[in-house]
Amino acid sequence: MDTDADLPRSNVRRIVKQKITELKGTGGPDIHLNRDALTALSEACRVFIHLISATANDICVESKRQTISVGDVISALEDLEFGDLIAELEGDIEDHRSEMRERAKKRSESIKKRKAQKAAEELASETKKGEGGEETTTDGNGVPVAAAAGEDRAKEGEAAHGGIEAGKPVLANTPAGAGAEPMAE
């Protein structure tokens, strides 16, 4: 047995127990799976998947394509005389597609919401006119930041905007002894 291609035992056990419970109903004792029975079921599932995959691949190659489609899998099921599985498969495919559409819709709404929120934050942090006609801006948290108008002086090490270096947050309404410099006027 090729251990690289084995199906996860926990998934096989869960699916088998779910199906057995579904078939027997709610009455009766719980069914336990012997380790050998679980191995046999897992191997049977693996062989079935390989058989369907190989047949679908052959159909795809005959059609001169490189990607196996849902139609190829359905054709493979018909060719292998598993036609009774097709209706359930098509139902599951439709459920999957509707779930994917729902996820895409939620993702799209989430992206729109984030973009709107980001635009609102950018609008709030846009350049504002300060006192005396000097430009001041705010960072993403709404904290005023000295304007870049005095960049040349800041680069030379001089204090821009009355003792505040460009790009540093301005702490307004902070008591002088609180460990932060008060905002210069």
What is the tens place of the pLDDT at every residue in 57-72?
999 999 999 999 999 9
What's the pTM? 0.54
Q: How confident is the model at residue 36 (pLDDT cuts 50, 70, 90)?
A: very high
Indicate the number of domains in the chain. 3
In a domain, 7, yes or no: yes
Q: Give the phi and the psi of residue 137 in degrees, each rounded to 5.
A: -125, 170
Question: Which range has highest mean pLDDT (15-24, 132-141, 176-185)?
Answer: 15-24
Check residue 170 and give its pLDDT. 53
Instruction: Please check whether residue 12 lies inside any domain of the structure.
Output: yes
Residues 151 and 165 in one domain: yes
Domain boundary among 21, 46, 81: 81
In a domain, 76, yes or no: yes
Average pLDDT, stretch 128-136?
A: 49
Q: Report the alpha-carbon distance of residue 182 to residue 185 in Å, rounded.
A: 9
- What is the domain extent for residue 3? 1-81
Same domain (yes/no): 62, 115: no
Q: Is pLDDT above 50 for 150?
A: no
Question: Counting Cβ atoms within 10 Å, is residue 161 exposed (0-12), middle (13-18) or buried (19+)?
Answer: buried
Tell which residue, 142, 141, 182, has the closest CA to residue 162.
Answer: 182
Q: Which range is least confidently modeled, 8-17, 42-51, 90-99, 101-110? A: 8-17
pLDDT at 185: 47
Residues 119 and 136 in one domain: no
pLDDT in tens, 79-103: 999 999 999 999 999 999 999 999 9
pLDDT of residue 104: 95
**148 vs 49, which has greater pLDDT?**
49
